[in-house]
Amino acid sequence: MRTWGYSRVSTSEQHLYRQIHALTERGIAPENILTDKQSGKDTARPGLKKLLVTAKKGDTVIVESFSRFSRSTRDLLDLVENLTAKGVEFISLKENIDTSVPAGKFMLTVFAALYEFERETTLQRQREGIAAARLRGVHLGRPPKRCPENFVETVKLWERGKIKFNEVLERTELKKTTFYALLREHRAKTEKKHSS
C-alpha cells in the first residue's frame, strides 16, 4: 500500500512549493508526488495520467485541494469514481474529505447531488431561454441557406432530364443535403400554391 500525492499549477511560471510542502507534511515521499504545470481544463495531464495508471488497490491519493486535482465538480466526481473503482482512497486536505470514512463518502454524494441540481437548473434555463426566443420569432441555430437565383430554373432542367445531378450541384453551388432540403421546401410551396 502506497500513499501518492498530486499537485498542479496552471502555468510553468507558478510554483508547486506550497502544495508539495503540505503533501510531504503528511509523510508522502517526494518520489510519490506527481505534478503537472498546466491548466486543469486539460485532463490529458501527464502527472495525472501516470497517477491514475500507477495507483493500485489499497493505495491512497492525497491532494492539497480539489481545485488542484480537477477542473469542475463533474471532473472531480469522475476522477474519484475512477480511483474508487480501483480500490484507491482519496483525500483532499483543504476540504477535509477522506473517502475511507463514511463522512467523506457522504460529502462526495452531496457534491454529486449539487452537481446534478446545477446541471438540471442550467438545462432548464436553456430550454426556457430557447422557448422565449422562439416566441419572439428569433431564429436559433445556423442561418437558413438562401436559395440561389438559378435554383428553380436548374431544377426544371434536371427534372426534364436536360442536365445531370452533378451539374445541378455545380450550377447552384450547393451541397447535396442542402439541395434536397431546398427542393423539399420549393415543392411544398409549389403544392400549397396549386391547392389554394
The residues annotated as belonging to the active site are 10
The DSSP line for 30-78 is: GGGEEEEES-TT-S--HHHHHHHHH--TT-EEEES-HHHH-SSHHHHHH
Rounded Cα gap, residues 63 and 66, in angstroms: 7
Coil, strand or helix: which one is 193? helix
Cβ–Cβ under 8 Å, residues 65 and 92: yes
Strands 3-9, 33-37: pairing kind:
parallel
Main-chain phi, psi angles of 65, to 5 degrees: -160, 160
